[in-house]
């Protein structure tokens, strides 16, 4: 196993503080560099903890009107797959239903509606509901793979609630299958290729071994799915990294894996709900392609609107400089999450 370098710089800014009679004051922060992609995060733990507004019942009731994902409308207000993909028109598993995106981002882009219920608070999601959604997403990915083997770059993506860019309150996520990787996927694949060439080993395996050994950011596992707080987070409230050990593609993920992944997500959701944070972005990426070995991996970033004016948590650093401002250190995030993973088996 090759040693991974976790690079961070302790930095300090100085000012004359008006709150203390303009006394000279130093404020410390960190700059962290992702050991795989070189992505930069600026950790600002001195900022006050941000609280999220409560979701009002009035807004939820208004959002039900004309919702195309509710059971009374889903069959009449959503498209069907072409026969070459799904002769049955839509794919179903348990309470989950899948159909093409009416406004596609890619040639193969579809929606998975998780339940008949119009809205769930984070602590209302169950392992069963999540598992069935992932299984029906996987079924569509497998069908594309059989008919279009060149479309090897697949992902499952979830914007939960408007704070994260979600267009509807009804719980749903999207699947994308493409011939080309997204910018994020390409960065990871290039990092994996370089690491394999230089170190002769798989980065994900070495990272997981290092994180388990240090115990600073590792949270726990459900089966072969491991959960940890990312060293260089991509969100203002941190990032949770999930690794499907020894699963090279989404096709290889078993139902037991999806159960483990869903159980871990339920724990994460309870952590977020306890902190009055209701929104997140989640992306799960297929791993190996012909020239690069990988594992399937997923990333989750909590999302908020900053009070008192409901300001977006994305600013110029993230949008235009591709660096992230984060107000909680990954180690503090892991400390807060760890009690929710207390019953997980040891790695």
Q: What pLDDT is attached to residue 248?
A: 93
User: Measured in whole angstroms, how far is the alpha carbon of residue 19 from the centre of its chain?
Assistant: 39
Kindly report, residue by residue over 265-288, the tens digit of the pLDDT.
999 999 999 998 999 999 999 977
pTM of the model: 0.95
The reply to whether omega before 308 is within 30° of 0 (cis) is: yes
CB distance 279 to 163 below 8 Å: yes
Closest to 154 in 3D by CA, of 87, 26, 249: 249
**Six-digit token string for 157:** 């993506």
Rounded mean pLDDT, 25-29:
94
pLDDT at 51 over 80: no
Most confident segment among 31-40, 49-58, 305-314: 31-40
Q: What pLDDT is attached to residue 220?
A: 96
Q: Concatenated DSSP letters for 299-338?
A: EEEEE-EETTTTEES--HHHHHH-EEEESS-HHHHHHHHG
Kindly report, residue by residue over 212-266, the tens digit of the pLDDT.
999 999 999 999 999 999 999 999 999 999 999 999 999 999 999 999 999 999 9
Percentage above 90 pLDDT, the chain: 86
In the chain, where the domains are located = 11-43, 74-341
Q: What pLDDT is attached to residue 305?
A: 87
pLDDT at 48 over 90: no
What kind of architecture, by CATH, is found in domain 74-341? 2-Layer Sandwich (3.30)
pLDDT band, residue 2 (cuts 50/70/90): confident
CA–CA distance, 281 with 319 (Å, rounded to integer): 15
Q: What is the mean pLDDT of the chain?
A: 93
């Amino acid at each position: 196993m090759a040693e991974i370098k976790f690079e961070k710089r302790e930095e300090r800014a100085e000012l004359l503080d008006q709150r203390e009679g303009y006394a000279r004051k130093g404020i410390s922060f960190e700059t962290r560099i992702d050991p795989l992609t070189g992505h930069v995060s600026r950790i600002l733990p001195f900022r006050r903890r941000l609280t999220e507004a409560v979701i009002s019942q009035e807004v939820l009731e208004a959002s039900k009107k004309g919702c195309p994902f509710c059971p009374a409308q889903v069959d009449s207000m959503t498209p069907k797959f072409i026969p070459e993909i799904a002769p049955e028109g839509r794919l179903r598993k348990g309470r989950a239903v899948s159909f093409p995106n009416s406004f596609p981002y890619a040639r193969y882009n579809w929606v998975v509606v998780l339940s008949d219920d119009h809205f769930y608070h984070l602590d209302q999601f169950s392992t069963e509901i999540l598992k069935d959604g992932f299984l029906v997403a996987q079924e569509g990915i497998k069908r594309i793979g059989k008919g279009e083997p060149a479309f090897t770059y697949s992902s499952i993506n979830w914007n939960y609630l408007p704070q994260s860019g979600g267009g509807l309150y009804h719980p749903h996520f999207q699947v994308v299958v493409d011939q080309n990787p997204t910018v994020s996927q390409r960065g990871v694949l290039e990092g994996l290729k370089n690491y394999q060439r230089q170190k002769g080993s798989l980065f994900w395996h070495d990272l997981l071994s290092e994180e388990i050994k240090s115990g600073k950011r590792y949270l726990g596992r459900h089966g072969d799915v491991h959960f940890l707080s990312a060293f260089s987070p991509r969100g203002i409230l941190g990032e949770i990294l999930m690794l499907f050990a020894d699963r090279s593609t989404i096709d290889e993920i078993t139902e037991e894996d999806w159960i483990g992944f869903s159980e871990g997500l339920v724990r994460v959701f309870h952590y977020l709900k306890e902190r009055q944070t209701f929104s997140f972005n989640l992306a799960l990426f297929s791993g190996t392609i012909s020239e690069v070995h990988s594992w399937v991996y997923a990333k989750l970033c909590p999302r908020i609107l900053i009070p008192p004016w409901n300001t977006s948590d994305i600013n110029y650093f993230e949008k235009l400089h591709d660096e992230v401002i984060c107000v909680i250190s990954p180690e503090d995030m892991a400390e807060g999450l760890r009690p929710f993973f207390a019953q997980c088996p040891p790695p």
